[in-house]
Structure 1
Amino acid sequence: MRTKTLILARKASIRTGEWKRGPIPRAQWPSRRAKDKAYKYGPRYQWRIISFLCLGYECRVRILLNIDARILRATFAVTEDGDTKALCDYEWHASEPGWHCHARCGHVEDVDATKNRFGSIRMPAWGSYHRRQEFKFGDSDLNEIAAFNYVVTLFRIREGGGLI
């Protein structure tokens, strides 16, 4: 099964979580190997976990948002055997301007949970033209509501045929 297939497929048992600050509890983003610092972000960061079932996989999306620094990262992952496999990071941050994705394009079964971005492909490539240059969702500047709506639209997280 490929990442694109999971993104395009129908989702079920969707839990959207709430915006929070501080460390992310391991139960919400499980990993047997990650060090504690992988769950800690500065006080200006907000995070939110969306979980759902898709084609037999337990899936999660972690949204990290720092409005002041203009950073958004949405990580699409599957959880298997107590580990979370990051399949795709869609992000905007000043150090790599423009919306872009770091995707692991192979089969989900072949992704190694111990390697976060190793083997991923950046799209568009570094230095290439980026169509979306602004830290916006449509015409709206990114805030908590716009960021959430952007992510559920991007990863096609719908309930009963419509967006959440």
Structure 2
Amino acid sequence: MKKAEARASLRSSPTVARTYQTTVTVSRDLFLNHCSGTYARLIGWLAWRSENQHKYVMRVTGVIQSRKSNVSLSEWSDDKLKAKDFSLSRKRGKPFPLTRRWRWQIITFAGQGRSYRLMVAYHTLVPEFIVALGEDVSSDCRILARWEFHASHPGWHVHSVCGDTDGLSVGIVKPLGTKRIPAARSYHRHKKMLNDGHAMSDTVATAIACSLVGIPHQPDMFVMDAMPWV
């Protein structure tokens, strides 16, 4: 009884009541301030998302992994490449530079709401191969990547960027910021242009280009066996 009476007397004390009320008020104010700060951050994040939800970072890997549509393959040719096929304005409207003895093909497709084209070419006398991936920009072309094999270079490699491709210059073969992957003195996984027992041809070149860029293509088993990474 004495303990109960003591507790009751303590609760009725004006000093204890004021201390309790102050504690409750401070706790309530801290809670409301925390909630208001969280709410403000949430509103800010929603506003940022609304402004940036359509701003995508375009990367070469995104183009490769995207679902392709409107795929069109031109006929193979050994004529001079025309500017309308792969225009580069920085070369005064001239096409991608190809010398004689090259056979080439243009593959166009759409992906992620943009239009792209491939220039596939191989030399008929020496082991030389190029696949240039370009994005159509008005009547010009922005080269995003170039897969290459040269007899004088150590193995298959690509010239490209790992980040956003929208910053690359338009109308130039070697935009500023692109790098050789792997580096010239680094290890190259695929050192031969084709597997042993195979020769380059139009069919093989088309299959290689489609394999590199992720375009659905069903070559026969002999052609697939020619590619060193399959």
Fold match by TM threshold 0.5: yes
- Could you tell me how far apart the structure 2 residues matched to 1:14 and 1:138 are? 31
Could you say what secondary structure the match of 1:152 adopts?
A: helix
Indicate the residue corresponding to 1:136 in structure 2.
194
Q: Give me the identity figure in percent.
A: 25
Report which of the two has the higher share of helix. Answer: 2
- The farther-off stretch of 127-136 and 100-109 is 100-109
| Inter-CA distance 114–29: structure 2 relative to 1 (3 Å threshold) | closer
Give the aligned residue type for 1:50: I
Q: In 2, are the aligned partners of 1:73 and 1:90 still within 8 Å (CA)?
A: yes
Partner residue in 2 for 1:88 = 145
Over aligned residue pairs, what C-alpha RMSD do you find?
Answer: 2.0
Q: 1:59 aligns with which of 103, 113, 116?
A: 116
Residues 1:2 and 2:59 aligned together: yes
Counterpart residue identity of residue 124, structure 1: P
Once the two structures are overlaid, the 10-residue window that deviates more, 24-33 or 53-62, is: 24-33
The one-letter code sitting in structure 1 at the alignment partner of 2:99 is G
TM alignment of 1:1-164, pairs within 5 A:
1-35=58-92, 38-39=95-96, 41-117=98-174, 118-136=176-194, 140-158=198-216, 163=218
How many pairs does the alignment contain? 161
Go from structure 1 to structure 2 and tell me whether the alpha carbon gap of 1:69 and 1:129 turns closer, same or farther (over 3 Å shift): same
Higher deviation after alignment, 35-44 or 25-34 = 35-44
Q: Which runs of 4+ in 1 moved over 4 A?
A: 36-40
Gaps of 5+ in 1: none
User: Is there any run of 5+ residues in structure 2 with no aligned partner, and where?
Assistant: 1-57, 220-230
Pick the structure with more strand per residue. 1
Change (3 A) 1:138 1:157: farther
